[in-house]
Amino acid sequence: MVRDLDHWIDGKTVPRGTQPAMTVHGPVDRRSVASVALGGASHVADAVAAARGAGPDWADRAPVERGRLLLAVSSALRERAEEFVEVEVEETGKLVSEMRGGLGVAADYFEYYGGVVRALFGETIGLGSGDHAFTTREPYGVVGMITPWNGPLTQAARGMAAALAAGNTVVVKPSEFTSSTTLMLARLCEEVGVPPGVVNVVLGTGAEVGAALVDHPDVRLLAFTGSVTTGRAVAEGAARRLVPTILELGGKSANVVFADADLDRVVESALTICVGAGQQCAALSRLLVQHEVHDELLDRVAAAMRERVPGERLAPMTTEGQFEKVVEYFDVAARDGARLVVGGRAASGETAAGRYVEATVYADVTPQMRIFREEVFGPVLAVSRFGTEDEAVAMANDSDFGLVASVWTRDSGRALRVASRMEAGQVIVNGGRTGIETPFGGYKSSGLGREKGFESLLHYTQLKTTVVSTR
Catalytic sites, residue numbers: 248, 281
Name, in order, each residue with C-beta under 8 angstroms of 28's C-beta and a sequence gap of 6 or more. 90, 93, 311, 316, 354
Among the residues of 147-259, which ranges form H helices? 152-165, 180-191, 211-215, 228-241
313/224 Cα distance (integer angstroms):
30
Region label for 94, one of left (φ > 0), alpha (ψ between -120 and 50) or beta (otherwise): beta
As beta bridge partners, residue 380 has 360
CB 343 within 8 A of CB 360: yes
Give 387's contacts (C-beta < 8 A, 6+ positions apart): 290, 291
Residue 427 β-bridge partners:
405
The answer to whether 217 touches 367, Cβ cutoff 8 Å, is no
- DSSP code per residue over 50-108: HHHHHHHHHHHS-HHHHHHHHHHHHHHHHHTHHHHHHHHHHHH---HHHHHHHHHHHHH
The whole-angstrom separation of Cα 361 and Cα 338 is 10
Q: From residue 4, how far is each of 1, 32, 38, 202, 208 by CA, in Å?
A: 10, 11, 12, 14, 20
Q: What's the start-to-end Cα distance of the chain, in Å? A: 72
